[in-house]
Each structure stands twice: as structure tokens, then as C-alpha cells.
């Protein structure tokens, strides 16, 4: 089977790219190792442990692609404020959407909800979808890429996009180099019921071992649910994972200084090792890397998939413009326009996360003083905070058309 463009990976980012190119006239095939089925949504079902804080820019992209109604009809929790504080000091900072005349800072949405809303749109489109199709081998064949899937099925296309996540098979098989290192952190994620309301606020406490986030969820009336991301050193993560539910809730409440009262219940816990990865190049002739296949960053600012949505929107824009000009889409000269627009932005975000993580893990007294004074100082600067809020909304820098108002 041959297509103009094959996207490997129908996760949140790959599916977004396919939909952004829906009316391009290109013959697109999107392949994924999973079943790509959409489960009926059950509002009574437990929350999925994996969630994302979707920025305003991501929301706009998903609205323009007709995906947002599918998310809103399922389950999404808007939040308008963010409170961050240093657990081993006195510094704190508070951000509010109202400071930039926005209604929300973003929405906390279960990854499964985003994924299902995207798949629903994909199933209704003319885009070719190949479920249960795991990429095993990849090589050049003339001007095309030749892909071999499980069970030996072969596909070919002159343009290939890797959207197959952090352990991208495309990236590995194409020999794309990466820079990577362990954060020496594992993230424990789960959903918890608290005694007190979350106040539509994203809460983050920096503990000595790493950040602990409580993110608001849209729970049933009268119940107060949050999604937690507890990043900590591996040995501590192992200990916390081994605790029974009651002991885990007690330790979690203590680590969070009981800001939302007692933690009354915790769902099934997942433990995810955190690793920073960045591809040295996002493109080569006939190939582009997007989303986690190109970069994975620490979840402390909840930016991973937001960067991925912007990658998808920018790559689609570059390809659409090139097609209008009659250029060959697989030329490196064309694909480099995507890399030039996205790499500096992604690198800046990764550097900021790295800096934050190091500053908050630093033990020497001068650094602890600096971060406490720094947080309080920035908290008093309305303009600096507004700048930060615009970053969090994803509205700073070179925005693709799909993310503009």
C-alpha cells in the first residue's frame, strides 16, 4: 500500500497532525499498534490516572479541528488559578487567569478523553486509519520509505512522520540521534478524593525530593477530586508504591501540608520513570519527528503534550504552505522550516524545566534563600507574572494559525 504521507502513531499528537491535514488533498495513512477503538464514555467510571493540563493554545487547536466538543461532552475541568510554594521555605507564588483577562489558565483532561475525542473525529474523516499495525522495520527504497509492520505487511510513502511517542521506533530505526538523561525521578500518578474543594486551582508544592502537584478534576457533585503527580527519587517512589491505600493517603496529605484537608481515597497508582530526551534534529529528507518522539520533558509544568500539539499545528502549516507553492513536501529544505520554528521553543521550555527542577532540589542555604526570595519577589511583580501566565496559556512566541484567536 502506498500513501503520500504516513504518520506512525495515532496518539494525541499524531492524530492532531492527521486532522490538521484533513483537507490538504494528500493521501494520508495513520498507523498505530493499538486497536484505535473508542470506548463509550461512562461519567460514573473512575478517572484515568494519566491526565494532561491542556493550555489555551491546545484548546484552540482542538476547537479548530472540531475535537473540543467531544472533550467537553465527556469530562474536563477548567482551572483559573495556580498556586506554587516551596515546601522547605516560605516562598510562594500565585497566578490567576484574570490577571491577563482570560477566563481559564487551561483544562485538566484525562488523556483517554482527549484520545477518544480525536479518534472519533478521525473515524468520521476520509483519513486512512490502520489499527493493530506496529512498525517493525524501516528502510529507504528509492525516493520512498518502506515500512514493514507486524505480520510482514508493507507500506511505502515519500514522507514519514514519527508520532510514536517517547520510545519512537521510527526515530530508532531511522538512526536519529538524541540527547537524553535520567531526571533520577519517578512520577507517581493517581486520582484522589479530598476533604475540601480544589477551588479550580492547580496546586504545586516543591518538596525536598521533587514537585507534588494536585490538579483539579470534575468529580461528581459534592465530591472533591484531584489528579496527583508526585515526582520523587526512585527509592522513595518504590516505598510509596508499596504502601497500602490508607498509609499512602496519610503520607500524601502530609506531603501536601493538608492544603485540601485530608486525602480520603486514592485510586490505582501508576509509577512512571522520568527521562529527558531531545532529538538532535527533528527532520531529515522525507522524515519529521513530532511530539514525544522529538522531545520528552519533566511533567512539572505540564507542558509535554502542549508542545506536541504546537509541533503538529506548525508542521501541518508548513506542509500546507509548501503544497500551495508546488514544492516537494519531502525535501529537507521544506521540512527544516518546521524544525526552525519549533526547536528553539521546545528547547527553551526544556531548559526552563531543568532550571526549575535543579533550583528546587538544591540544598545549599544560599540557593534555598534565593528561591524563597525569588518566588516572593516575582509574586509581587504583576508584569513578570502576566508574562508567565501567557507562557502557561501557550500564547507566547511564534504561534501557528490554528492556535491563534
Ligand X SMILES: Cc1cc2nc3c(=O)[nH]c(=O)nc-3n(C[C@H](O)[C@H](O)[C@H](O)COP(=O)(O)OP(=O)(O)OC[C@H]3O[C@@H](n4cnc5c(N)ncnc54)[C@H](O)[C@@H]3O)c2cc1C
Binding site for ligand X (CB under 6 A): 8-14, 31-34, 52-53, 134-135, 163-165, 169, 187, 189, 229, 272, 291-292, 299, 302-306, 308
Which residue lies nearer to ligand X by CB, 80 or 299? 299
- Whole-angstrom CA distances from 377 to 1, 91, 205, 211 are 60, 9, 18, 20
Which residue lies nearer to ligand X by CB, 48 or 164? 164
Least gap, CB of 382 to ligand X (angstroms):
26
Q: Are 285 and 143 in contact (CB under 8 A)?
A: no
Which residue lies nearer to ligand X by CB, 187 or 335? 187
Largest CA distance in the chain: 64
Closest to 163 in 3D by CA, of 135, 121, 128: 135
Least gap, CB of 357 to ligand X (angstroms):
14
**Cβ-proximal residue to ligand X, closest one:** 11
Closest to 274 in 3D by CA, of 213, 242, 233, 228: 233
Which residue lies nearer to ligand X by CB, 189 or 363? 189
Q: Are 327 and 334 in contact (CB under 8 A)?
A: yes
Helix (H) or strand (E) holding 166: none
Q: Are 313 and 34 in contact (CB under 8 A)?
A: no
Which residue lies nearer to ligand X by CB, 243 or 272? 272
Which residue lies nearer to ligand X by CB, 166 or 367? 166
Dihedral sign for Cα atoms in the order 256, 384, 56, 112: negative
List, in order, residues 6 or more apart from 303 with CB less than 8 Å away. 55, 297, 349, 353
Least gap, CB of 327 to ligand X (angstroms):
26
Least gap, CB of 162 to ligand X (angstroms):
9
- Whole-angstrom CA distances from 228 to 193, 216, 367 are 10, 9, 27
Which residue lies nearer to ligand X by CB, 52 or 104? 52
Least gap, CB of 338 to ligand X (angstroms):
15
Which residue lies nearer to ligand X by CB, 104 or 306? 306
Q: What backbone torsions phi and psi does residue 157 show, to the nearest 5 degrees?
A: -165, 150
Least gap, CB of 294 to ligand X (angstroms):
8
Least gap, CB of 305 to ligand X (angstroms):
4
Least gap, CB of 364 to ligand X (angstroms):
28
Q: Which residues pair with 227 in a beta bridge?
A: 191, 215
DSSP state of 58: H
C-alpha cell at 355: 532550571
Q: Which residues pair with 230 in a beta bridge?
A: 188, 212
Least gap, CB of 269 to ligand X (angstroms):
12
Q: What is the CA radius of gyration of the chain?
A: 21
Which residue lies nearer to ligand X by CB, 272 or 323? 272
Q: Is 350 exposed, middle or buried (0-12, 13-18, 19+ CB in 10 A)?
A: buried
Amino acid at each position: 500500500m502506498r500513501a503520500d504521507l504516513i504518520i506512525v502513531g495515532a496518539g494525541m499528537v499524531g492524530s492532531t497532525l492527521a486532522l490538521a491535514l484533513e483537507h490538504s488533498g494528500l493521501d494520508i495513512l495513520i498507523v498505530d499498534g493499538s486497536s484505535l477503538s473508542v470506548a463509550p464514555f461512562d461519567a460514573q467510571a473512575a478517572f484515568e490516572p494519566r491526565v494532561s493540563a491542556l493550555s489555551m493554545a491546545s484548546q484552540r487547536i482542538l476547537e479548530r479541528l472540531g475535537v473540543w466538543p467531544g472533550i467537553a461532552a465527556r469530562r474536563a475541568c477548567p482551572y483559573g488559578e495556580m498556586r506554587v510554594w516551596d515546601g522547605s521555605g516560605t516562598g510562594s507564588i500565585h497566578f490567576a487567569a484574570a490577571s491577563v483577562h482570560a477566563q481559564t489558565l487551561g483544562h485538566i483532561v484525562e488523556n483517554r478523553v482527549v484520545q477518544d475525542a480525536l479518534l472519533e473525529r478521525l473515524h468520521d474523516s476520509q483519513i486512512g486509519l490502520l489499527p493493530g499495525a506496529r512498525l517493525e522495520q524501516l528502510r529507504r527504497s528509492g525516493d520512498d520509505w518502506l515500512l514493514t509492520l507486524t505480520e510482514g505487511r508493507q507500506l511505502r510513502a515519500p514522507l514519514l512522520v514519527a508520532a510514536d511517542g517517547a520510545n519512537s521506533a521510527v526515530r530508532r530505526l531511522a538512526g536519529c540521534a538524541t540527547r537524553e538523561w535520567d531526571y533520577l525521578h519517578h512520577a507517581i500518578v493517581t486520582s484522589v478524593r479530598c476533604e475540601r474543594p480544589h477551588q479550580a486551582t492547580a496546586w504545586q508544592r516543591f518538596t525536598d525530593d521533587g514537585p507534588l502537584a494536585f490538579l483539579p478534576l470534575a468529580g461528581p457533585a459534592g465530591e472533591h477530586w484531584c489528579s496527583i503527580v508526585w515526582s520523587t527519587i526512585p527509592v522513595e517512589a518504590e516505598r510509596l508504591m508499596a504502601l497500602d491505600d490508607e498509609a499512602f493517603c496519610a503520607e500524601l496529605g502530609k506531603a501536601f501540608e493538608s492544603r485540601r484537608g485530608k486525602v480520603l481515597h486514592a485510586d490505582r497508582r501508576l509509577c512512571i520513570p522520568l527521562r529527558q530526551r531531545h532529538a538532535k534534529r527533528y527532520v531529515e529528507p522525507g522524515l519529521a519527528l513530532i511530539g514525544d518522539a522529538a522531545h520528552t520533558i519533566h511533567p512539572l509544568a505540564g507542558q509535554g503534550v502542549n508542545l506536541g500539539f504546537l509541533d503538529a499545528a506548525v508542521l501541518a502549516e508548513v506542509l500546507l504552505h509548501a503544497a500551495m507553492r508546488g514544492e516537494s513536501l519531502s525535501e529537507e529544505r521544506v521540512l527544516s522550516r518546521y524544525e526552525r520554528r519549533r526547536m528553539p521553543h521546545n528547547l527553551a521550555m526544556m531548559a526552563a524545566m531543568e532550571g526549575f527542577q535543579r533550583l528546587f532540589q538544591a540544598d545549599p542555604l544560599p540557593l534555598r534563600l534565593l528561591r524563597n526570595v525569588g518566588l516572593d519577589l516575582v509574586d509581587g511583580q504583576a508584569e513578570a507574572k502576566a508574562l508567565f501566565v501567557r507562557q502557561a496559556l501557550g500564547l507566547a512566541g511564534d504561534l501557528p494559525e490554528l492556535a491563534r484567536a
